[in-house]
């Protein structure tokens, strides 16, 4: 049975964390023709706080950036994930890095990133704009079954309990990919999972615009 936490992750369940300064690149990035670049990786961190697996996700620009970013992150020591009992656990999080005009501009998740799951709802939750992203913290066992679930957002505002239920129930509708330890064996973990919400009204407008553009192009 899925156990829900409050809108802000409660109890002891926590994702891996690190000081922001540790995420500033210590390597010379490569850029596309416009002088920009971005990279997203999925990082697996041991209960000791040591990252040992770094998988490339989104990439804008040369692949060397992802390789260098992963190599850098594996030298960083994180505060480990914590399971609901407060014990150190394996953790999986997304980490970003961005450059513009050949300068590093930060590590925040961009508004346009796709996330893990896109959901269409009849109406956006009060106070949240279209395409808002919600960051879930999931407790996943070694078989991929999801236990506890907490929800956070980019905005410091409360999330209605029915929205938390919707997000957590949808995220847990199918088993997650269990984390693997250093020996390649599946282990319980605490994982980050990102959901984007869009209203049906917005989707209808997008479809109408697409059909109109399609007719004009014929």
Give the model confidence (pLDDT) of 3-27 as tens digits.
334 334 445 799 999 999 999 999 9
Any idea which residue has 């236990």 for tokens? 147
Rounded to 10 degrees, the C-alpha dihedral 196/96/141/145 comes to 20
pLDDT band at 211 (very low <50, low <70, confident <90, very high): low
Helix ranges restricted to H, 150-199? 161-171
Separation between Cα atoms, residue 133 and residue 85, nearest integer Å: 27
Highest mean pLDDT among 24-28, 161-165, 167-171: 24-28
* pLDDT on residue 6: 37
More confident residue, 127 or 155: 127
Give the separation between CA 149 and CA 117, rounded to whole angstroms.
15
């Amino acid at each position: 049975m899925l156990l829900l936490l409050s809108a802000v992750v409660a109890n002891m369940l926590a994702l891996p964390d690190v000081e922001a300064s540790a995420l500033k690149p210590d390597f010379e990035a490569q850029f596309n023709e416009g002088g920009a670049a971005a990279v997203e990786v999925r990082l697996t961190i041991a209960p000791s706080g040591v990252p040992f697996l770094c998988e490339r996700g989104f990439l804008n620009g040369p692949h060397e950036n992802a390789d260098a970013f992963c190599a850098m992150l594996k030298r960083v020591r994180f505060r480990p994930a914590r399971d609901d009992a407060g014990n150190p656990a394996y953790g999986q999080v997304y980490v970003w890095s961005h450059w513009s005009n050949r300068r590093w501009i930060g590590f925040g998740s961009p508004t346009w990133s796709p996330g893990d799951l896109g959901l269409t709802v009849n109406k956006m939750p009060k106070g949240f704009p279209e395409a808002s992203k919600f960051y879930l913290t999931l407790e996943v066992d070694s078989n991929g079954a999801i236990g506890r679930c907490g929800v956070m957002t980019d905005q410091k505002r409360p999330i209605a309990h029915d929205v938390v239920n919707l997000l957590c129930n949808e995220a847990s509708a199918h088993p997650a990919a269990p984390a693997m330890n250093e020996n390649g064996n599946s282990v319980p973990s605490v994982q980050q999972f990102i959901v984007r919400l869009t209203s049906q009204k917005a989707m209808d407008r997008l479809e109408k615009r697409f059909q109109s553009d399609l007719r004009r192009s014929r």
